[in-house]
């Protein structure tokens, strides 16, 4: 395999159970550099669990995740074999899990900003405290990112002083400031008032156009159609089908996909 078509993210046979409930039966997916993968599916289908496994927030019981770094020359691929870890955090080498986290950054459904820190502090915390990059350099970069999403003036505000849409944009900036290779979005607009959804989706679309590699769990089918390069329908802990968004959302092959899309289009 030549370096150019090497996948940035390769997931093989990912399994995860919570007690007796097997949430992920066997998930296989690949994401190439610059690709945007949208995960759609009914609630409880396991799509969010897939995303959380990619950031090490959940430790899978089986399967592998391989992720390469930002730069092929300096960042060798790292592979985590979860079967060896038996679903326990302690079973995964700390360094490997750390690398997985370093390379991916997540934007949460409920933003999860740190309420006791200002907007700027929220963005700088990871790069300065964890990554130990020079404060001045990080601040310049953080301010530029905040400016870019139209929140430069809010640098010293606390999260409670911002609207949901503004908080989510800070959440995105916080993720970007970590300089990840892979951006993960967990239903980034589900908690927002309808009139605030547009700003956030527009920003994600811009990032996609800039070449960021992303995995997005979303219910926004229009958005998936327009922004994603690939869409995967997750149901019952497996990927039922995946393909080109325009094609798949118009003409799904599987009955379950058809039913799901129908329910979204005609909720009542």
Partner 1 sequence: MSESTWQLLLDSLWPLIHGAITGTIPLALASFAIGLVLALGLALMRLSKRRWLSSIAQVYISIVRGTPLLVQLFVIFYGLPSLGIVIDPWPSAIVAFSINVGGYAAEVIRAAILSVPKGQWEAAYMIGMSHRRALTRIILPQAARVSVPPLSNTFISLVKDTSLASLILVTELFREAQQVAAFSQQFMALYLEAALLYWVICLVLSSGQGVLEKRLDRYVAH
Cβ 259 to partner 1 shortest distance, Å:
32
**127 DSSP assignment:** I
Q: How far is the CA of 45 from the CAs of 40, 228, 236, in angstroms?
A: 9, 20, 5
Task: Output the CA torsion 230→236→238→243 (10° steps).
Answer: -20
Choose between 56 and 245: whose C-beta lies nearer to partner 1: 56
Cβ 54 to partner 1 shortest distance, Å:
11
Pair of tokens at residue 237: 């802990």
Choose between 174 and 242: whose C-beta lies nearer to partner 1: 174
Choose between 2 and 43: whose C-beta lies nearer to partner 1: 43
Choose between 178 and 228: whose C-beta lies nearer to partner 1: 178
Cβ 118 to partner 1 shortest distance, Å:
8
Q: What Rg, from alpha-carbon coordinates, does the chain have?
A: 18
Cβ 51 to partner 1 shortest distance, Å:
11
Decide: 181 and 9 in contact? Cβ < 8 Å. Answer: no
The residues of the shown chain that bind partner 1, judged by CB under 8 A, are: 55-57, 98, 101-102, 105-106, 108, 110, 112-117, 125-126, 129-131, 158-161, 174-175, 178
Pair of tokens at residue 115: 């309420």
Choose between 12 and 117: whose C-beta lies nearer to partner 1: 117
CB burial of residue 191 (10 Å; 0-12, 13-18, 19+):
middle
Decide: 44 and 35 in contact? Cβ < 8 Å. Answer: no
Cβ 184 to partner 1 shortest distance, Å:
9
CB burial of residue 60 (10 Å; 0-12, 13-18, 19+):
buried
Cβ 112 to partner 1 shortest distance, Å:
4
Decide: 62 and 14 in contact? Cβ < 8 Å. Answer: yes
Choose between 159 and 252: whose C-beta lies nearer to partner 1: 159
């Amino acid at each position: 395999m030549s370096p150019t078509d090497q996948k940035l993210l390769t997931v093989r046979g990912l399994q995860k159970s919570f007690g007796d409930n097997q949430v992920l039966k066997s998930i296989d997916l690949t994401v190439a550099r610059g690709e945007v993968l949208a995960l759609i599916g009914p609630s409880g289908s396991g799509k969010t669990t897939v995303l959380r496994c990619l950031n090490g927030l959940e430790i899978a019981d089986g399967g592998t995740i391989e992720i390469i770094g930002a730069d092929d020359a300096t960042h060798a691929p790292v592979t985590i074999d979860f079967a060896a870890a038996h679903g326990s955090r302690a079973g995964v080498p700390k360094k490997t899990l750390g690398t997985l986290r370093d390379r991916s950054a997540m934007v949460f459904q409920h933003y999860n900003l740190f309420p006791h820190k200002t907007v700027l502090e929220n963005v700088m915390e990871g790069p300065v405290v964890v990554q130990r990059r020079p404060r001045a350099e990080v601040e310049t970069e953080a301010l530029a990112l905040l400016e870019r999403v139209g929140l430069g003036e809010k640098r010293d505000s606390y999260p409670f002083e911002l609207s949901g849409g503004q908080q989510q944009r800070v959440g995105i900036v916080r993720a970007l400031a970590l300089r990840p290779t892979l951006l993960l979005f967990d239903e980034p607009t589900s908690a927002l008032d309808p009139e605030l959804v547009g700003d956030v989706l527009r920003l994600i679309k811009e990032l996609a156009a800039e070449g960021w590699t992303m995995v997005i769990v979303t219910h926004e089918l229009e958005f998936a159609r327009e922004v994603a390069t690939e869409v995967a329908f997750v149901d019952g802990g497996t990927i039922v089908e995946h393909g080109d968004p325009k094609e798949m959302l118009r003409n799904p092959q599987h009955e379950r996909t058809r039913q799901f899309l129908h329910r979204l289009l005609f909720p009542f």
